Amino acid sequence: MPARQPTLHQLVGAPDNLKLSASVRLRFEAIDGQVRPGFDSSSQLVSLRSTLFAEYDFGGVRLGGEIRDARVYLEGDNTPLSTNEVNTFEPVQAYLAADLGDRLGQGSKASVQAGRMIITLGSGRLVTSEEFRNTANGYTGVRADWLTRSGIATTLFWSMPQVRLPSTRAAIGRNGFALDRESPDLMLYGGLVTTPLRFAWGSADIGYFRLFERDGPALPTLDRRLHTFDVRLFRDPAAGRLDWEFEGAWQFGTISNSTQRGSFTRDVQAYFYHLELGYTWPGGWAPRLSAEFDYATGTRATGSYGRFDTLFGGRRVDFSPSGIYNEINRANIASPGLHLEVTPNKRLDGMFEARLLLVPERSDSFATTNVRDLSGRSGNYAGEQFDFRLRYWLIPKALRFELDFDYLRKGPFLRNAPNAPRNGDVRFVAVSLLATY
């Protein structure tokens, strides 16, 4: 077995109170049968992401920062590109944190953090920074965490999500540089409480998130004013036992009908839920098999706006990769599926998932494809998706290989909708190397 490589912290001889880490990821991805209108049927992309993180502990007070550099190469003129792929030399984290110890109660732990930071709460379906995607979700604000002696964890936060720049297709294509912007024109705040449920051998999350958005200088928006209440009951997977997860969120508020100034405001009533029941077999490859069902509302032909907004949540946790695939997420979707994970050893793991893809509201666009049939005559069957992932540590904890493959067999909706591309089924592949230091 190859020897474990020294970390960046060890290489520079940093003191124990200084954390240092870095990573470089190189990925090639290609797609054929692109389902999103307006893009090439076949395209490819090479992405490069580099990160450098440092945190110094002064003894109860920590000063931290992280720079991320995300770039792309070999794209075509009509390859799907956005700030999800490019964000060059950005200080996504720059914060000051204070550890308060047990000042809020004997046996408790508390901390406060302020500045630029990355936030993941609960399952990550509503607030996170997705790992597969080339760029990060950054938040500028204040966060407070409190863990009681009895195991109840509370997080409260107020933030201005960073708007990644530059945002024009031309600037993104040339890997242009501009510092991201945060302002009170876009705010996200709320909290999450996690508590053990000893009578049910699991835990519960209860959360509330408020999104406030308004037009900024040269940045028209949908003026979203959303309240999202979230409840999650779960039991983590472990060998030789059942695990489960139920998460549901109710969303209401208002949204503008378009980004045009003066457009009328619509009421929002939307929700999503995720159901999952799994079992992990002990020994051997430790296979875990789970049955899953995901549902997120769409907008009916009449009435209030019904498309669920997943806020700053990740898609890979339930569905499929982002990148130039980026087709399935929590909006106007109903999807039952089976999910299998195996871990033959500490260096190798694999995942396979099969899903049916249904369209709850036939006259609304499906998920994030932008494919739509206003008449509803294309039906509600979008197809089937098969998702495969293989990861192997070529050098343990230093260099990891990853292969992702997705096949989406198009159903009548994705074949016959008026704006659906007239091409074959979707095939997506991504091959990456991740070096960590």
* pLDDT given for residue 12 in this prediction: 76
* pLDDT given for residue 85 in this prediction: 97
Domains observed in the chain: 8-436 (2.40.160.100)
Q: Single out the residue of 89, 58, 53 nearest to residue 71, CA to CA.
A: 89
* pLDDT given for residue 16 in this prediction: 85
* pLDDT given for residue 13 in this prediction: 67
Burial of 350 (0-12, 13-18, 19+ CB in 10 A): middle
* pLDDT given for residue 9 in this prediction: 72
* pLDDT given for residue 135 in this prediction: 97
* pLDDT given for residue 1 in this prediction: 47
pLDDT beneath 50, residues of the chain = 1
Q: What is the 3-state secondary structure (H, E, C) of the chain?
A: CCCCCCCHHHHCCCCCCEEEEEEEEEEEEEEECCCCCCCCCEEEEEEEEEEEEEEEECCCEEEEEEEEEEEEECCCCCCCCCCCCCEEEEEEEEEEEEEEECCCCCCCEEEEEEEEECCCCCCCCCECCCCCCCCCCCEEEEEEEEECCCCCEEEEEEEEECECCCCCHHHHHCCCCCCCECCCCEEEEEEEEEEEEHHHCEEEEEEEEEEEECCECCECCCCCEEEEEEEEEEECCCECEEEEEEEEEEEEEEEECCCCCCCCEEEEEEEEEEEEEEEECCCCCCCEEEEEEEEECCCCCCCCECCCCCCECCCCCCCCCCCCCCCCCCCCEEEEEEEEEEEEECCEEEEEEEEEEECCCCCCCCCCCCCCCCCCCCCCEEEEEEEEEEEEEEECCCEEEEEEEEEEEECHHHHHCCCCCCCCCEEEEEEEEEEEC
CA distance 242 to 71: 42
Cross-strand pairs, 357:
383
| pTM for this predicted structure | 0.93
* pLDDT given for residue 198 in this prediction: 80
* pLDDT given for residue 199 in this prediction: 73
